[in-house]
C-alpha cells in the first residue's frame, strides 16, 4: 500500500537553505558587498537633491554653477548605482543557477538511493510532483529570490539608516509609520505555511490521480471504472481548487493592507516635516531628502512583500523536496551481509505469507526450493499471486512471515548493488531513456564494449538494430523511437549484459507477438544456459520448456513438478494444458 511521503520541518528547511548558501558563500558575500556599494551610491542622489534645493534657497552669484555641479554628481552616482545593481544581480543569478542544480542533483540522488521495495510503495504522482513542479519552484526561487531579496534588504537597510542619520525625528516618524507593514506581514506568516503546504499536497494528489489513471487506462476501460476514476479526479480538482483559493484569500488581504501601509511613511514625513520646516527646525532640503529616501524605500519593501508571498509557496516546495531525505526504510538492514554468496545460489522460500493490506493475505504459506541453474515456470490464472511471488523472489518485497533466502541470506536484506549481481527481475514495464542506444544499453554494464553490445542485442533477436540510421549512436527519442516490442527486447538485452546468476521474467515477452516472443525466449535460453531462470508464464509453451512448473491458485502453491508429471496428474495444470492445446489446434 502506498505511504505518504514525509514533509521536512521548518528547522530542516532552514538548515538545508543555509547549507546551500554556505556551499557558494563567495557568491553570497559578493552579492552583499556589491549591493552595499550600490545602496550607498543610491543614497547620494537624494542627498544632493536636498543640497540643490537648499543652494537655490540660499541664492548667490554662483548658484547656477553650484547647482550644475550637484546635478552632475547626482547623475554620476545614479549611473554607478545602476551599474553596481546590475553586477550584483548577475552574480546572484549565477549563484541561483548553481544552487538550483545542486538541489535537483540532491533530489535525484536521494530518489535513486531509495531501496526498490520502498520506492515501489511510494505514491508515484507525489514523487513526480516533487521532482518536477516542486523542484522547479525551488530552482526558480533560488535563481531569482536570493539576489533580488538581498538587493532589496541592503537597499532598505541603507535607506532607513540614511533617513535616521539625516534627521532622527523625521526618521523615527517614518519608521513608526511602517508598523502597519510589520503587522500585515506577521498576520500573513502565521497563516501561510499550512495553506501553501495544502496547495502543494493537493496538487500532488491530483498528479497522482492523473498518473495512475493514465497508467491503468486499459484496465479501467475493461472493468468499466471510468465513472469512478472521473469522480476521483473531480474530487482531487475540487480539493486543489479549494487550497488555491485559500492561498488567494491570504494574498487579497496582505497586498492591499501592505500597499496602504507603504504609503504612510511618506505622508507622515511630509506632515511632520512641513510643520518642523515652518518652525525653522529643519530645512526644506532635509524634508525633501527624507521624503525621497522614504519614497525610494517603497521599492525594496514592495519587492520584499512580493517575495514574502512567493517564498511561502517556495518554502512548501522546499520542504517537500527535502522531505525525501526522511523516507524511512521498511526495516533496519543487518549490519553485515557476509556469506550471502558463500552458501551457494539456491533460492529457498519457506512458509512465506504476504499481504498488501493487513486484513487479507495474497500469498499463503509458500514453500519452494529453486536449485542453481534450474528453469522454473510459474503458472496460474490472473490474480493467483504469480507476480507477488516474483517480487518476493527478487527482494522487492519482504514476506510478513516466513522467509525468502538466496544462499542462506534473506534476499530483501541484500544491498542494491549486491542484489543486482544475484537477481534481476524483468517485467512488462520497461524504460527507454532519451539517449543513444549505446548509453541505453550501458546502463547495465558501463564498461561494455561495442562488440558486447551487439552480441547482447543479437542474443534477444533485436533485428531492428540494422534499420537504425546510426547504429549504436542513434539517438532514441528524437526522430527515432522504439515500439513496445523493440523496447522490451532492449530491456532484455540489458539483462544479458548484467549477467546475473538468477533471472526472473514476469511476463517479460508479453508485448511481443507470439512468433517474436518464441524466438526471443529461445535466444535467451541459449544465452542464459547454466543460470537460474524463473519465468512467470502467460504462454503455456514457456512452461512446457521449463525443468519444473509451479502452479499457483488463490495465493497457494497447489502443484509442483515437470510438464509430463503435471499433465499426467490431470489436475489444475493438466486442465490448463488441454484447454490451451485445444484452442491452439483450432
Residue-wise pLDDT for 53-74, tens only, equals 777 777 766 778 877 888 888 8
Taking residues 390-418, what's their average pLDDT?
Answer: 83
Summarize pLDDT for 525-535 with one digit per residue, the tens.
656 667 888 88
Q: Over 60: is that where the pLDDT of 338 sits? A: no
Q: Give the best-scoring range by mean pLDDT among 261-275, 337-351, 496-510.
A: 261-275
With bands split at pLDDT 50, 70 and 90, how would you rate the model's confidence at 545? Answer: confident
Tens-place pLDDT, residues 215-261: 777 777 777 778 888 888 888 889 889 888 888 888 888 888 877 87
pLDDT over 70 at 512, yes or no? no
Band (546; pLDDT cuts 50, 70, 90) = confident
pLDDT of residue 333: 46
The answer to whether residues 503 and 390 touch, using CB atoms and an 8 Å cutoff, is no
- At 340, the pLDDT band (50, 70, 90 cuts) reads very low
Q: What mean pLDDT is predicted for residues 200-216?
A: 78
More confident residue, 358 or 578: 578
pLDDT at position 414 over 50: yes
- Across the beta sheet with 423-426, what order do the strands follow? 423-426, 502-506, 532-536, 375-379, 548-553, 556-561
Average pLDDT (381-395) is: 84
516 pLDDT tier (thresholds 50, 70, 90): low
Q: Which three cell numbers stand for residue 475?
A: 539517438
Mention every residue, 6+ apart, whose C-beta is less than 8 A from residue 534.
Answer: 347, 370, 376, 377, 378, 390, 393, 502, 503, 504, 505
Q: Which of 165-179, 242-256, 339-353, 383-397 has the lowest mean pLDDT?
A: 339-353
Asked whether 70 and 53 are in contact (CB, 8 A), the reply is no
> How confident is the model at residue 319, as a pLDDT?
83
Q: Which run of H or of E encompasses 111?
A: helix 63-113
Per the CB < 8 A criterion, the answer to whether 155 and 39 are in contact is yes
Cβ count within 10 A of residue 80: 17
Per the listing, cell 520541518 goes with: 9
| Range ranked top by mean pLDDT from 333-337, 426-430, 547-551 | 547-551
- Report d(CA 130, CA 134) in Å as an integer: 5
What is the reported pLDDT for 476? 83
Beta carbons within 8 Å of 13's beta carbon, 6+ residues apart:
315, 318, 319, 322
For 280-317, write each residue's pLDDT tens digit.
788 888 888 888 878 878 878 888 887 777 777 777 78
Q: Is 166 exposed, middle or buried (0-12, 13-18, 19+ CB in 10 A)?
A: buried
The more confident residue out of 499 and 358 is 499
List, for residues 445-485, the tens digit of each pLDDT value: 888 899 999 988 888 778 888 888 888 888 887 677 787 77
Quote the pLDDT of residue 263. 80
Distance CA 458, CA 112 (A): 30
Kindly give the residue spans of alpha helices, DSSP state H, lying in 281-408: 284-322, 386-393
At residue 1, the pLDDT reads 42
> In this predicted structure, what is the pLDDT of residue 113?
73
Nearest to 272 by CA among 291, 292, 246, 251: 291
Task: Quote the mean pLDDT of the chain.
Answer: 79
Strands 401-406 and 556-561: unpaired
Contacts of 549 (CB under 8 A, 6+ apart): 376, 377, 378, 379, 543, 559, 560, 561, 562, 563, 566, 573
**Ranges assigned E (strand) in 88-208:** none
More confident residue, 15 or 116: 15
**Euclidean distance between CA atoms 286 and 282, whole angstroms:** 6
* pLDDT given for residue 334 in this prediction: 44
Task: Compute CA distances 166 → 41, 162, 275, 299, 340, whole Å.
Answer: 16, 6, 17, 20, 77
What are 185-195's pLDDT values in tens digits? 888 888 888 88
Domains and CATH numbers, the chain: 10-326 (1.20.1560.10), 347-585 (3.40.50.300)
d(C-alpha 543, C-alpha 494), whole Å: 23
Residues β-bridged to residue 549: 377, 561
User: What is the pLDDT, as a whole number, of residue 121?
Assistant: 67
Residues 115-144 have a mean pLDDT of 73
The answer to whether residues 397 and 413 touch, using CB atoms and an 8 Å cutoff, is no
Amino acid at each position: 500500500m502506498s505511504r505518504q511521503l514525509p514533509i521536512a520541518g521548518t528547522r530542516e528547511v532552514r538548515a538545508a537553505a543555509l547549507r546551500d548558501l554556505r556551499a557558494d558563500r563567495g557568491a553570497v558575500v559578493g552579492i552583499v558587498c556589491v549591493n552595499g556599494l550600490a545602496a550607498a551610491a543610491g543614497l547620494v542622489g537624494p542627498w544632493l537633491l536636498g543640497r540643490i534645493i537648499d543652494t537655490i534657497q540660499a541664492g548667490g552669484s554662483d548658484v547656477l554653477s553650484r547647482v550644475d555641479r550637484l546635478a552632475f554628481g547626482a547623475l554620476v552616482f545614479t549611473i554607478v548605482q545602476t551599474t553596481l545593481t546590475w553586477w550584483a544581480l548577475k552574480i546572484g543569478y549565477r549563484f541561483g543557477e548553481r544552487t538550483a542544480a545542486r538541489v535537483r542533483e540532491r533530489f535525484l540522488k536521494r530518489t535513486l538511493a531509495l531501496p526498490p521495495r520502498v520506492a515501489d510503495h511510494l505514491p508515484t504522482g507525489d514523487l513526480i510532483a516533487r521532482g518536477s513542479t516542486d523542484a522547479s519552484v525551488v530552482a526558480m526561487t533560488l535563481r531569482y529570490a536570493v539576489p533580488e531579496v538581498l538587493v532589496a534588504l541592503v537597499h532598505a537597510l541603507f535607506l532607513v539608516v540614511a533617513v535616521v542619520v539625516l534627521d532622527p525625528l523625521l526618521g523615527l516618524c517614518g519608521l513608526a509609520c511602517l508598523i502597519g507593514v510589520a503587522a500585515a506581514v506577521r498576520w500573513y506568516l502565521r497563516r501561510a505555511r499550512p495553506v501553501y503546504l495544502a496547495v502543494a499536497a493537493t496538487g500532488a494528489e491530483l498528479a497522482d490521480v492523473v498518473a495512475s489513471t493514465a497508467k491503468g487506462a486499459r484496465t479501467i476501460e475493461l472493468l468499466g471504472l471510468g465513472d469512478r476514476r472521473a469522480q476521483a479526479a473531480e474530487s482531487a480538482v475540487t480539493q486543489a481548487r479549494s487550497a488555491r483559493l485559500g492561498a488567494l484569500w491570504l494574498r487579497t488581504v496582505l497586498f492591499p493592507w501592505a500597499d496602504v501601509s507603504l504609503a504612510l511613511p511618506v505622508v507622515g514625513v511630509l506632515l511632520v516635516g512641513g510643520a518642523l520646516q515652518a518652525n525653522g527646525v529643519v530645512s526644506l532640503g532635509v524634508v525633501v531628502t527624507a521624503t525621497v529616501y522614504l519614497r525610494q524605500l517603497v521599492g525594496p519593501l514592495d519587492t520584499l512583500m512580493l517575495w514574502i508571498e512567493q517564498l511561502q509557496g517556495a518554502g512548501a516546495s522546499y520542504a517537500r523536496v527535502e522531505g525525501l531525505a526522511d523516507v524511512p526504510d521498511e526495516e533496519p538492514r543487518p549490519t553485515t551481509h557476509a556469506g550471502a554468496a558463500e552458501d551457494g545460489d539456491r533460492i529457498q522460500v519457506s512458509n512465506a505469507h504476504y499481504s498488501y493490506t493487513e486484513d487479507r493475505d495474497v500469498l499463503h504459506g509458500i514453500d519452494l526450493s529453486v536449485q542453481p541453474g534450474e528453469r522454473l515456470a510459474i503458472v496460474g490464472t490472473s490474480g493467483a499471486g504469480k507476480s507477488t511471488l516474483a517480487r518476493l523472489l527478487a527482494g522487492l518485497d519482504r514476506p510478513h512471515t516466513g522467509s525468502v533466502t538466496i544462499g542462506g541470506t534473506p534476499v530483501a536484506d541484500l544491498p542494491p548493488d549486491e542484489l543486482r549481481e544475484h537477481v534481476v527481475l524483468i517485467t512488462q514495464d520497461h524504460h527507454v531513456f532519451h539517449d543513444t542506444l549505446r548509453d541505453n544499453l550501458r546502463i547495465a554494464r558501463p564498461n561494455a564494449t561495442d562488440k558486447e553490445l551487439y552480441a547482447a542485442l543479437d542474443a534477444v533477436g533485436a533485428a531492428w538494430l540494422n534499420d537504425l540510421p546510426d547504429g549504436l549512436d542513434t539517438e532514441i527519442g528524437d526522430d527515432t523511437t522504439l515500439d513496445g516490442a523493440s523496447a522490451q527486447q532492449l530491456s532484455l538485452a540489458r539483462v544479458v549484459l548484467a549477467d546475473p546468476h538468477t533471472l526472473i521474467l514476469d511476463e517479460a515477452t508479453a508485448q511481443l507477438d507470439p512468433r517474436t516472443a518464441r524466438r526471443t525466449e529461445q535466444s535467451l535460453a541459449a544465452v542464459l544456459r547454466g543460470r537460474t531462470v524463473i519465468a512467470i508464464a502467460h504462454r503455456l509453451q514457456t512452461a512446457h520448456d521449463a525443468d519444473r512448473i509451479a502452479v499457483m491458485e488463490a495465493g497457494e502453491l497447489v502443484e509442483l513438478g515437470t510438464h509430463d508429471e503435471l499433465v499426467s496428474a490431470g489436475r489444475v495444470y493438466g486442465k490448463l494444458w488441454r484447454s490451451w492445446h485445444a484452442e491452439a489446434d483450432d
